[in-house]
Structure 1
Amino acid sequence: MSAREDHPVLLPGRVGGLRTANRLAVAPMTRVSAEPDGTPTPDMAAYYAEFARGGFGLVITEGIYTDAAYSQGYLNQPGLVSGRHAEAWRDVVQGVHDAGAVFVAQLMHAGALSQGNRYRSSTIGPSAVRPRGVQMPEYGGEGPWPVPGEMGPADIEEAVAGFVASAVNARDAGFDGVEVHAANGYLLDQFLTDYTNLRRDEYGGPVAHRVRLTAQVVEAIRAEVGPDFCVGVRLSQTKVNDFEYRWPGGVHDGEVIFAALADAGATYLHLASEGRNWLDTALLDGGLTITGLARRVTGLPVIANGGMHDAGLSGQVLRDGHADLVSVARGALVNPDLPRRLAEGRELEDFDRTLLEPTVTLENVRRRRAVDAPV
């Protein structure tokens, strides 16, 4: 790989009022390495700071649970619920800022896809529909998902209040913004998805109603944190438990969803590609891409995700106007210095699938490779 100082991902970026050193972001990746009560650890601080030192302009946390009720999805998932949580996050934020990156907290309610919650033994969702697939063993689950309880008005109010309170905690801990997790099959995406949302009230039926809860969350956060704090939204068609799902209305659904979130006060949209390359999920009818459609409808910055460690693909996405930034997940795990490698023309390390295990660190892999290396 030759030096690539002119690659578009290395140009300065902008997300609302935030300026980033480049257009490369670290995508959220669940690592379940917090203390049992959800408090971030020094190891987590080192983990996030390494991406910032490696040159990523934007770092987005793993999904952080938002209330002491039904939001937690995994044991040892970090939270932003208590004062102890927020205080520990301050140290994590400081390390990322000291290394020069913008840091955003992703706020997540697992809904029916919760498989480890220290506060509750049952789950809730938009409707009493068993999720597709089975629980993920790498995160401590096994067997079919339980059937969730259908959320009533009080449950919805509690979920919205949790998002708002955790956003305020994130701001007070020093984060530059928050990202509302409405992707990958979790609660807000369950409301967006036609087969998990069978409601007949104002949150069910046509897509304009199914997106209402996500828009309500964004609007409520915006009202509390003010006009200048960054409030992004992550969306996807595919899910951790359903790689094949696509919005049934295609372009029309995208237009309705994107417009609703822009109107609610979103700063940016982050379009994820769970389990797929961007090229596999981005194309819509008429030659449009989902990220390009989001840019056209809203005028907001859009982050594209899915195989973006590939310099050719990320360059195409940015040069052709499909997105404003790109986010990297697996490629960042094994190459936390990916931006520097790209700028200097150095090859990327080969991906090691063991890194997908949430408790495995890059240091573990380095040590194993050193032991296995020929002498």
Structure 2
Amino acid sequence: MSVRDGHPALEPGRIGQLTTANRLVVAPMSRVSAEPDGTATPEMADYYARFAQGGFGLVITEGIYTDAAYSQGYLNQPGLVSARNAAAWRDVVDAVHAAGGLIVAQLMHAGALSQGNAHRDGTAGPSPVKPRGDKMPGYGGNGPWPTPKEMDSADIEEAVAGFAAAAVNARDAGFDGVEVHAANGYLLDQFLTGYTNLRDDSYGGPVAARVRLTAQVVERIRAGTGPDWTVGVRLSQTKVNDFRYRWPGGAHDGEVIFAALAGAGATYLHIASEGRAWTETARLDGGLTITGLARRVTGLPVIANGGMHDAGLSAQVIGDGHADFVSVARAALVNPCLPRRLAAGEPLERFDRTLLEPTVTLDNVRRRLRAAGAPV
């Protein structure tokens, strides 16, 4: 990878009260390597610290489950629901801070796409609609998804309260902020999506009603953590079980969603591209891009995702005003020092698809690179 001098991703950035060394972000990547009760391990502290050591301006954790009810998505997924969980995350946060980085906890409720929950049997979602596709073997799943129970008002309150409590736990553990996971087909995205949300109450129907739950989560987190703490939201059109889905209303839907979340108190928006490149999912009618629209509607910092390890693409996305930051997932696994390589104009190591295995740690990656005679 060769880049021109002054790559815009290497410039300092600002997200709310946070000043980042650059505009390169580690995207959330589920690793399912926590203890059975959701407690983070010392190996996870080392894993996240290496991204900070490699120069990333911000690290966003894998999805962390938020309650001891229906939120957990996978066995060995980390949680933030107990004092023991929070204390272990403090060690992770301290390791990242000691390496000079910033770290945000992504808070996640799997909803109907849960395939491993130590707390509850069965799954819950906005409507009793069987999810498309099959469970993900890489995360311990097998066979078709079950049909979820329809969440009643008590279930919804339990979910919102879980997000809020987990956010307070994250703040107390020293995290620099949280990111609400409303993307990729999980619970909050299920409420946003017409074919999984068939409700006829205040959470169903037009997009302004379907985004209501996500806005309530942001509002409750904001109320519990204060006016200045970083509270981001991750959104996507595509899903882990549906790569083809796009918002039916296009730019109109985007305007409604973005405005609602900004009004609820979001600090930033992170627009994901599950299973597809930004170039495939970002374009809207009229020459708009979804990330550019989010910036225009809200005035908030926007993170773009999807193929952003490509130096030319990330320069275009930031330089042409489509987004303020770019997040990298797969390429960061094999190139934890990607920002330093970008600054030096050095090529990136090729991505090995076996590294998508959730339990592969950065130590595994480094050993493989050394065995191949590649720099780390």
Q: Name the aligned partner's letter for residue 78 of structure 1.
A: P
- Where structure 1 has 5 or more consecutive residues not aligned to the other structure, the ranges are none
Deviations 1:269-314 (A, max 9, x none): 0000000000000000000000000000000000000000000000
1:74 maps to 2:79: no
Q: In 2, are the aligned partners of 1:129 and 1:148 still within 8 Å (CA)?
A: yes
**1:292 alignment partner AA:** G
Matched, 1:130 2:127: no
Q: Deviations over 1:55-81 (max 9, x none)?
A: 000000000000001000000000000
Q: Which residue of 2 aligns with 1:180?
A: 180
Indicate the residue corresponding to 2:193 in structure 1: 193
Residue type of the alignment partner of 1:57: G
* C-alpha distance in 1 between matches for 2:347 and 2:280: 25
Q: Distance in 2 between matches of 1:19 and 1:372?
A: 37
Residue 252 of structure 1: CA displacement? 0.4
1:202 aligns with 2:195: no
- Structure 1 residues 209-262: Cα deviation after superposition (integer angstroms, max 9, x where no partner): 000000000011111111000000000000000000000000100000000000
Partner of 2:204, secondary structure, is coil
The answer to whether the aligner puts 1:99 opposite 2:104 as a matched pair is: no
- One-letter amino acid matched to 1:196: T
Paired letter, 1:75:
L
CA distance in structure 1 between the partners assigned to 2:261 and 2:124 by the alignment: 24
Q: Give SS of 1:234's match.
A: strand
Distance, in Å, in 1 between the alignment partners of 2:16 and 2:113 is: 31
Using the size of structure 1 for normalisation, the TM-score is 0.98
TM-score between both structures, scaled by the size of structure 2: 0.98
The AA in structure 1 aligned to 2:348 is L
Question: In the aligned structure 2, how far is the partner of 1:303 from the partner of 1:3?
Answer: 21
CA RMSD of superposed structures (Å): 1.3
Please say if 1:266 is aligned against 2:266: yes
CA distance in 2, matches of 1:60, 1:369: 24
Any idea what the Cα deviations from partners look like across 1:88-120, whole Å, max 9, x if unmatched? 000100011111111100000000000000001
**Is the CA contact (8 Å cut-off) linking 1:292 and 1:321 kept in structure 2?**
yes
Q: Distance in 2 between matches of 1:373 and 1:227?
A: 49
SS in structure 2 of the partner of residue 154 of structure 1: helix
Matched letter for residue 87 of structure 1? A
User: 2:238 maps to which residue?
Assistant: 238
The aligned runs of 1:145-294 (5 Å cut-off) are 145-294=145-294
Change (3 A) 1:369 1:315: closer
AA paired with 1:248?
Answer: P
Residue identity over aligned pairs, in percent, reads 80
Stretches of 4+ aligned residues off by more than 4 angstroms: 1-5, 368-374
The answer to whether residue 24 in structure 2 is matched with residue 24 in structure 1 is yes
Partner SS for 1:117: coil
Does the 8 A contact of 2:273 with 2:306 survive in 1? yes
Q: Is the 8 A contact 1:23 1:326 kept in 2?
A: yes
Structure-2 residue corresponding to 1:33: 33
CA distance in 2, matches of 1:24, 1:176: 16
Aligned to 1:319: 319
Please report how far the alpha carbon of residue 361 of structure 1 lies from its aligned counterpart in structure 2 after TM superposition: 2.5
SS of 1:120's equivalent in the other structure is coil
Contact 1:4 1:343 survives alignment (8 Å): no
| SS of 2:296 mapped into structure 1 | helix
CA 1:114/1:265 → structure 2, altered by over 3 Å: closer, same or farther?
same
1:56 aligns to what SS in structure 2?
A: coil
Shift of 1:373: 6.7
1:276 aligns to what SS in structure 2?
coil
Hey, what's the Cα distance between the residues in 1 that align with 2:181 and 2:202?
21
CA contact (8 A) 2:333 2:365 kept: no
What is the distance in 2 between the residues matched to 1:12 and 1:98?
Answer: 19
Counterpart code for 1:302: V
Question: Unaligned regions of 5+ residues in structure 2, if any?
Answer: none
How far apart are the structure 2 equivalents of 1:20 and 1:368? Answer: 30
For the 8 Å contact 1:4–1:344, the answer to whether it is kept is no
Aligned to 1:107, the other structure's residue is in SS state: strand
Task: State the one-letter code of the partner of 1:347.
Answer: P
1:128 counterpart SS class: coil
Tell me the CA shift for residue 362 of structure 1: 3.6
Change (3 A) 1:2 1:287: closer
What is the count of residue pairs matched by the alignment? 374
Q: In the alignment, residue 175 of structure 2 is paired with which amino acid?
A: F
CA contact 1:53–1:100 (8 Å) conserved in 2? yes
Q: Distance in 2 between matches of 1:262 and 1:81?
A: 27
